[in-house]
Each structure stands twice: as structure tokens, then as C-alpha cells.
Amino acid sequence: MEVRGERECTACGTRWSYYETGSVQCPECGSVRSVATEDERREHTDGAPTIDLDDAVLAAGRDDYRAAAREARDAVRDYTHERGFVRGGELLDLDDAVLAAWELRYVAAAFARSFDHTEDEAYYFVSLLRGAPAGDRPPASDVPDSMRAARGNGYADAVADYRADVRRFLDGGPERTDALDLLASLDDHVRRTHALDGDVPPATAERLVTAARAIGRYARDGDEDDAEAARDAIDTLAR
């Protein structure tokens, strides 16, 4: 949506940027009454949320993985619903925190359904819990075979969200026909990953992200090297 992001609180006079906080509430006094201090409306999709997994980490520390999964599932669901990639008219990168959060949504769902987990699965889950707020994720080599669908589906969902915002950015910004063609090809591979229920090698999921990031850079900056990098990644996915 298009919003006027620079606000001034009518209660205390504090000025802040909605683009940075994602909230209409005054950061100083808490009032929700404010006025815009600029006339220009800019495309904005990012609610600037944070991931709070403290309760989930505590539950995992008690070896109560189902409780940890429930806490994590709620936290990352809220986060992924509020995250976007256009902030005040500027296209953001597809960052690691979003990837970790989407992956954790699927891992938490799996842990919430089951009582029994291997040591490798538990280690992987806890690693995600501890690392997700900072965007840290276990390397592909540490993803248990039983959990690779969680990474595949999670990355595909993150890429799908990013693709939608790149398209939104292009609709109101630079004219890059090649970027639209690349987005269409990327969407084909997102659909293919979902059709396989995410059960693709972790390296394949990483290439999906590589392609999305390159397309985003090209859409924003117009560098042909990024367009070529995106084409290479998509060609690799097609093999």
C-alpha cells in the first residue's frame, strides 16, 4: 500500500518514520494520534516486526519440544505475516531472518505434531530457535533428511513473498521487462517446489534464494551482471 511515512504526534510533538517502526503509535508517549509531515505517498509493505523466541527457547531447554514448537509457530507466523520487502518505496533484500522464520514455521509445525524426535532433529530445531532472530540457519549439510521438506517449503514461501513485492516495486518504479520475465521463471520453480511438498535437496532450495536475490538486485539497481546471475541460477534449477 502507499502511505505517507513521516509522522508527527499531536500529543507530544515527537516525529518518527512509520517506514522504520511499522506502527502508527508514537514511540515516545504511545499516542495513536498523529499527522503526516510530508505529502508524498510511497509504496510500503514492511511492518518492521521482530522475532521473539525467548519462550520457545526456554521450553526447548526443558526438553519440552512440543511446547517450544507451539511458541515458535505463533511467533514466526506473526512475523512472516507482517514482513514485507518494500520500505518507503525502496526495495529491500531477501534477508536471512525471513528465510529462517519461514523455515522455522514448517519445522515447528512438524515438532508440534509429534512426540518422538531424533537427536539430530532436536539439535536442528534448537539451532533454528536460537539463530532465527539474527537470521542464522544450520548449513545445508546439517539439515536432517526428514526435515529437508521444511527448508524447501519455507524457502519457497519466502521467495514467493519476495517475488510479489519485487513485482509491486516494478509496477510503480523502473521499467525492466527482463526482470518481469525472470520473475515468471522464478515463479515456475516456486510452484514446482511446492508441488513436491518442499522435498528438494537443500542445495536446490538455496539456488532458489540465490535467483530471487539476484532478481531483486537487478530490479532495484539495473545491473546486468545481476540479471545474468539470476539467469544462471534459474538455468541450474531447470536441470
Q: Where are the chain's structural domains?
A: 2-43, 54-238
Q: Going by C-beta distance under 8 Å and a sequence separation of 6 or more, which residues neighbour residue 212? A: 94, 159, 162, 163, 166, 186
Grid cell at residue 31: 499516542
Q: Quick check: 11 and 28 in contact, CB under 8 A?
A: no
* CA–CA distance, 83 with 48 (Å, rounded to integer): 6
Architecture of domain 2-43: Single Sheet (2.20)
* pLDDT at site 196: 97
3 state SS of 9:
strand
The mean pLDDT of the chain is 91
* pLDDT at site 39: 64
pLDDT tens column, 2-55:
666 677 888 888 886 777 776 778 888 878 778 877 667 788 899 889 999 999
Write down the H helix ranges in the chain: 18-21, 54-61, 65-82, 96-113, 119-131, 148-171, 177-195, 202-221, 224-238
Q: Quick check: 163 and 186 in contact, CB under 8 A?
A: yes
pLDDT tens column, 160-204:
999 999 999 999 778 888 999 999 999 999 999 999 999 999 999
Task: Please list the residues that pair with 2 across neighbouring strands.
Answer: 43
Q: Going by C-beta distance under 8 Å and a sequence separation of 6 or more, which residues neighbour residue 90? A: 220
Among 33-47, 86-100, 146-160, name the one with the lowest average pLDDT. 33-47
Q: Quick check: 7 and 24 in contact, CB under 8 A?
A: yes
* CA–CA distance, 47 with 194 (Å, rounded to integer): 26
- pLDDT at residue 221 is higher than 90: yes
8-state DSSP, 143? S
